[in-house]
Amino acid sequence: MLHGAAHSSGTPHTRTAGRGAAWACGLSAIALLAGCSTAGPLSALDPAGPGAAPIARVWWAMFWGGMALTVAMTGLALYAALRRRAGTPRVSANALLVGGGLLLPGAVIAALLLWGMRAGHALLPLPGAAPVFTVEVTARQWQWDARYPQHPTAPSATNRIDIPAGQPVDVHVRTADVIHGFWVPRLGGKIDAIPGRTNVIRLQADAPGVYRGVCAEYCGTGHARMPMEVHAHAPDALAARLAGGTP
């Protein structure tokens, strides 16, 4: 009798604590999301081209998939902690473990894997109907140098790449020393510059503008001093730039 009394008196307190924790988690998540912004010069969630858009969609799918898993697992935990001891059917521990610990996360991870593979496909330099603009980028400690094989007399500027807007661009990335990471978040994913190799990534800017990039692999003490700018131009402006006529 004493044990039963103690159990019944503790149940409302446990339920109140569980509800309070759930409300606190929900309010914290709302406050966190309210303070976040997807816009920014280095935001992968503010895509400006067809190579970056699938990456942003994968990120949001991961976010909402993680939120769904969190809600589901929290619900299972509350069910296990707060279910009444009598009058309701009991779910076996094995069913909870298999369903909540294997099947649900496995389905979400498999969906994200397939979606991520499709997003990566958009960055491959595959043949297509549209003409492709080529840029050769060489990384070194601690700067980026660009050459334009289709325009051998074009002027070059350190840490600056000029491309056409609205046209696919194949960036051939090399390094003169150590491993670097070429990344322009609003235009596409990251690709490494590896000694002795040339890696190619396809980018495209939907509209003229300046898109910032960084070195995404630690490459030495000057790593933080390796920003770059990708300038996307309208056709006439790009022609003038490559001829040395405009900044």
Structure confidence by residue, pLDDT tens digits, 50-78:
888 888 888 888 888 788 878 877 887 77
Strand partners, 144: 139
Report whether 161 contacts 186 (CB < 8 A): no
| pLDDT (0 to 100) of residue 58 | 84
Of 212, 213, 238, nearest to 151 by C-alpha is 238
Alpha helices in 47-148 (DSSP H): 53-82, 93-98, 104-121
Region 80-106: mean pLDDT is: 69
**pLDDT higher than 70, residue 91:** no
> Model pTM greater than 0.85?
no
Contacts for 229 with CB less than 8 Å, ≥ 6 apart: 159, 160, 161, 210, 211, 212, 213
**pLDDT higher than 90, residue 159:** yes
Mean pLDDT of the chain: 80
Percent of the chain topping pLDDT 90: 39
Region 193-209: mean pLDDT is: 95
pLDDT digits (tens, 9 = 90+) for 118-158: 777 777 777 776 789 999 999 999 999 999 998 988 888 89
**pLDDT higher than 90, residue 181:** yes
| pLDDT (0 to 100) of residue 203 | 94
Region 1-14: mean pLDDT is: 42
Report whether 162 contacts 155 (CB < 8 A): no
Report whether 231 contacts 163 (CB < 8 A): yes
Region 87-113: mean pLDDT is: 73
**pLDDT higher than 90, residue 218:** yes
| pLDDT (0 to 100) of residue 5 | 39
Report whether 186 contacts 43 (CB < 8 A): yes
**pLDDT higher than 60, residue 87:** no
| pLDDT (0 to 100) of residue 78 | 79
Higher pLDDT, 117 or 151: 151
| pLDDT (0 to 100) of residue 90 | 64
| pLDDT (0 to 100) of residue 85 | 55
pLDDT digits (tens, 9 = 90+) for 11-29: 554 444 445 544 545 545 5
| pLDDT (0 to 100) of residue 140 | 95
